[in-house]
Amino acid sequence: MAAKSEHQIVSSEMLPAFSETANVERKQDLSEDQTEHQKAGLGEGIEPISKRQMKKLMKQKQWEEQRELRKQKRKEKRKRKQLERQCQLESNSDGSDRKRIRRDVVHSTLRLIIDCSFDSLMVLKDIKKLHKQIQRCYAENRRALHPVQFYLTSHGGQLKKNMDENDKGWVNWKDIHIKPEHYSEFIKKEDLIYLTSDSPNVLKELDESKAYVIGGLVDHNHHKGLTYKQASDYGIDHAQLPLGNFVKMNSRKVLAVNHVFEIILEYLETRDWQEAFFTILPQRKGAVPTDKACESSSHDKEFATAEGGLNSDSSEEENSRNEQNSPHEEKQDKENSSESTVNSVPQVSCSHSPPLQDTVQDQQQDEVNNETKPQDGRTLGL
């Protein structure tokens, strides 16, 4: 009994110590489990990198490494361009470089207007074409030796929207007057001349005190005579370029907006309509100078008359040959006819003279028939 009590006392004294150590071990195990769980959570949070992302990281790394090399290349390129410019300036002592040409520009007082009041008559595709033609006019006027006073009137609607969407830099264009008003609101009527191919008036010279209007219409000839009608309604002078006096074309005489614009710029520089037309007109128009066209037509006529003369000579020779051969042919015809008559006579006699045996048999048959017939003319057996 005493031993049991001592054991119980010892075990009761050891219980608190044992429980403390058990609690410590339990806490350590929990902390280890938490750290492992956190690590596992971190591992699950990081997604695996794809090949494309790896390539991007590699390229970015290479880009960073080659930054200094790129700077050095840019410096070398700038130095090389400076040397090229210096050499060009030294070689272009005759004044052929672009900056010197721009200094020699003489601005013309002629006003050239593109009338954009036909916006409602065009579809979006044609509006885009008109926009490109206006861009071409602006670029050519900026490069010209004698640039005109360029006006863009009645600007709005589909055209303005298309320019805002596809060419936002138009608001910074220089040497151009873009106005939403109609041209008749700020230019005197007596100064206006509408350029239209339907006009009976033909331009001979350009008056630089006038304002020439080009219809901004791309309609593929759907609205014939519209610009001429508008000019007549407004009481404005109208005229057409002297295209027919210098050029013969396979197609119609209606030109694009930029072609008319460029022809006027070229004429202001050269003062020669024919040179202006053949410098600007595209090859698809099949333009030929009128003098060459007349020469070719006269040559064709001469060739046709020469062929007619040759044909007449040959026909005369054939007629003479026929006349020479005609008496001989007549003799042959007479001989052939005589031979045919001689040969035909015995044939006719033979055909009309039957043989004697046939005639006797026919007579006997007639007698038999007469005997068998009754007196009243009816056949026997009836």
Taking only the tens place, the pLDDT of each residue in 287-305 is 778 765 555 445 455 544 5
Residue 117: name the closest of 57, 172, 77, 157 by CA: 157
What percentage of the chain carries pLDDT values higher than 70?
A: 59
**Residue 115 maps to a domain:** yes
Please give the Cα distance from 157 to 134 (Å, whole number).
15
pLDDT at residue 22, rounded to an integer: 58
**Residue 175 maps to a domain:** yes
> In this structure, what DSSP letter does residue 49 have?
P
Q: Is the C-alpha dihedral spanning 22, 23, 29, 33 positive or negative?
A: positive
Task: Examine the pLDDT at 46 and tell me if it is beyond 80.
Answer: no
Question: What are the pLDDT digits (tens) for 47-91?
Answer: 688 888 898 899 888 888 888 888 888 888 888 888 888 888 777
**Residue 304 maps to a domain:** no
pTM for the predicted model, two decimal places: 0.54
Task: Examine the pLDDT at 340 and tell me if it is beyond 90.
Answer: no
pLDDT at residue 338, rounded to an integer: 44
Residues 6+ apart with CB under 8 A from 244: 202, 253, 290
pLDDT at residue 21, rounded to an integer: 57
Query: How many domains, the chain?
Result: 1
| pLDDT band of 42, cuts 50, 70, 90 | very low
Domain limits for position 182: 111-285
**Mean residue pLDDT across the chain:** 74
Task: Examine the pLDDT at 216 and tell me if it is beyond 80.
Answer: yes
pLDDT at residue 48, rounded to an integer: 81
pLDDT at residue 240, rounded to an integer: 94
**Residue 324 maps to a domain:** no
Residue 153: name the closest of 211, 78, 219 by CA: 211
pLDDT at residue 244, rounded to an integer: 86
Backbone angles phi, psi at 241, to 5 degrees: -65, 150
Please give the Cα distance from 266 to 279 (Å, whole number).
8
pLDDT at residue 350, rounded to an integer: 37
| pLDDT band of 222, cuts 50, 70, 90 | confident
pLDDT at residue 91, rounded to an integer: 72
Question: What are the pLDDT digits (tens) for 242-286?
Answer: 998 888 877 677 899 999 999 999 999 999 999 999 999 887 777
Please give the Cα distance from 111 to 191 (Å, whole number).
10
| Contact between 289 and 248 (Cβ < 8 Å) | yes
pLDDT at residue 27, rounded to an integer: 60
| Contact between 240 and 195 (Cβ < 8 Å) | yes
**Residue 68 maps to a domain:** no
- Catalytically annotated residue among 97, 126, 191, 219: 219
pLDDT at residue 188, rounded to an integer: 94
**Residue 274 maps to a domain:** yes
Question: What are the pLDDT digits (tens) for 95-135?
Answer: 554 444 455 789 999 999 999 999 999 999 999 999 999 99
User: What's 278's domain CATH number?
Assistant: 3.40.1280.30
| pLDDT band of 374, cuts 50, 70, 90 | very low
**Residue 118 maps to a domain:** yes
Distances (CA, A) of 200 to 196, 197, 225, 237, 374: 9, 8, 12, 11, 108
Adjacent-strand bridge partners of 178: 152
Beta strands in the chain (DSSP E): 111-115, 149-153, 176-178, 192-195, 211-215, 237-239, 247-248, 288-289
Is 219 a known active-site residue? yes
pLDDT at residue 49, rounded to an integer: 84
Of 51 and 176, the structure prediction assigns the larger pLDDT to 176
**Residue 179 maps to a domain:** yes
- Mean pLDDT, to the nearest integer, of 7-29? 53
Choose the weakest-confidence range: 40-44, 233-237, 318-322.
40-44
Question: What are the pLDDT digits (tens) for 129-161?
Answer: 999 999 999 999 999 999 999 999 999 999 999
pLDDT at residue 100, rounded to an integer: 45
pLDDT at residue 88, rounded to an integer: 80
**DSSP letter for each residue of 282-309:** -GGG--EEHHHHHHHHHHHHHHHHHHHH
